[in-house]
A and B are shown apart, each in its own frame.
Chain A
Amino acid sequence: AQSVTQLGSHVSVSEGALVLLRCNYSSSVPPYLFWYVQYPNQGLQLLLKYTSAATLVKGINGFEAEFKKSETSFHLTKPSAHMSDAAEYFCAVSLNTGNQFYFGTGTSLTVIP
């Protein structure tokens, strides 16, 4: 079985501060891992995706995530938060076989001016 856990349903950071959103997965084989962002009243947009090519994945809008097999983690970071980063962030996991795709429960990011 596979699953994905996002620690912290709400995260608040000051503008300019480091953003760290946590994601841990549970899978017996290396999975595909994704981070999606959802702005209010909109659909989801892919930030980045891990496909085993490189453990440090760079995405859009200055975000990046590092795949750590030993910690079964895929945390999302951004060095300096902008007001426009306020949104809901979803980590997602899928195996490279089968037809299973799961979103985590999401983390709501608030950026304080």
Chain B
Amino acid sequence: DTEVTQTPKHLVMGMTNKKSLKCEQHMGHRAMYWYKQKAKKPPELMFVYSYEKLSINESVPSRFSPECPNSSLLNLHLHALQPEDSALYLCASSPGATIQETQYFGPGTRLLVL
């Protein structure tokens, strides 16, 4: 298996909802990443997990809560989001634990917050 998968592909949620995004990789990669990408903009790094530990948090609001239950799985828990949080959320993984490694991206989850 040489890909990063993300579920769901699309998600619509209200501002009072709680939802989760899921990302999986079975390539034995040691680091996993969450990015947020607004339309016509570059991806913005949100979180990095290295060896299942949170190593980077780019000052992301607490309404976004990452979780790495094991080396293959990365979740992003969403609660009390705002309409401006609507975006494409990309997950990536890399073989090594440093951010200089090549990152392999999933197709993303397109989130709409109403």
B-binding residues in A (CB < 8 A): 32, 34, 36, 41-46, 49, 90, 94-96, 99-101, 103-106
Contact = CB atoms under 8 A, between A and B. Distances in A.
A39 to B, nearest CB: 10
A103 B103 CA distance: 12
B55 A99 contact: yes
Which residue, of B42, B92, B103, has the highest number of chain A Cβ atoms within 10 A? B42
Nearest to B106: A43
B105 A44 contact: yes
Interface of B: 4, 40-45, 48, 55-56, 90, 92, 99-100, 102-108
Given A99-B55, A99-B56, A101-B45, A43 B102 contact: no
Given A46-B104, A94-B100, A106-B40, 18 more contacts: A36-B105, A42-B108, A43-B106, A43-B107, A44-B90, A44-B103, A44-B105, A49-B102, A90-B42, A94-B99, A96-B100, A99-B55, A103-B43, A103-B44, A104-B42, A105-B41, A105-B42, A106-B42
Contacts of B48: 99
A43 B100 contact: no
Contacts of A42: 107-108
Contacts of B106: 43
A46 B40 CA distance: 19
Contact of B102 (A46, A99, A105): A46
13 contacts: A34-B102, A36-B105, A44-B43, A44-B92, A45-B105, A46-B102, A95-B100, A101-B45, A101-B99, A103-B43, A105-B41, A105-B42, A106-B41
A96 B98 CA distance: 9
A43 B45 contact: no
